[in-house]
Structure 1
């Protein structure tokens, strides 16, 4: 019983020193700059060349220089993501088995969805990695 109290007391003494020694968390610079909004990874089911199911994974983001439009985009980000996922699923369902995703077509589809959800143009879609697993 004494050992347990001693260990608890020692932990309470050391904890404030550890917290004070921890580096202060500064706001990290987002990839793409201050006007960039990262969209979580989008996924859709595809048929691979072997006939088995696969997953199409697309990373994307929006570059929005206009502050008001960027604030609106941040507030409706779940709607933007839902529109992107739906467009990606429709595109993926029409792909031939074993086909490679076309970045130009995906860019046009997702850009149209972003403009439609935001109600105006001004957001520029940026595509990242596209993988099929």
Structure 2
């Protein structure tokens, strides 16, 4: 029985000592040189558009998007063009949502294709990939 009474004390001592070992391990890994990988993805702020619900009231569709760009020069251009990209994406989503029947599920494949066309237009050339995070209707 006495073994089990001391078990919480042993666990507490082990857990208390664990955080001290983690920084030492992190410092040991800093000694090796790491090759920094270029950034290939960035997320845009969520985009909202008004839709009609099945009961005739207005609702909101929220779409999270991001861009994956492998080319470093195109990535710089995409990051610099973030406001233009958001505006173009919002326009595409608003036009699509305005034509959607009340209560109908949105066709996210179509939306993704249209957003890709607009992204290529804004950036001036293909090479980026539009990624959709989530689409929420409320």
TM-score (norm 2): 0.71
Distance 1:66 1:101 in 2: 32
Answer 1 or 2: which has greater helix percent: 2
Give the greater-gyration-radius structure (CA). 2
Q: Tell me if 1:35 matches 2:40.
A: yes
Q: Out of 62, 65, 70, which is 1:60 matched to?
A: 65
Q: Out of 103, 119, 129, which is 1:124 matched to?
A: 129
Distance 1:127 1:70 in 2: 18
Kindly state the Cα deviation for residue 55 of structure 1 after the two structures are TM-superposed. Answer: 0.1
RMSD over aligned CA atoms reads 1.0
TM-score (norm 1): 0.74
Runs of 5+ consecutive residues of structure 2 not aligned to the other structure: 1-37
1:18-41: CA deviation from partner (whole Å, max 9, x where unpaired): xxxxxxxxxxxxxxx931010100
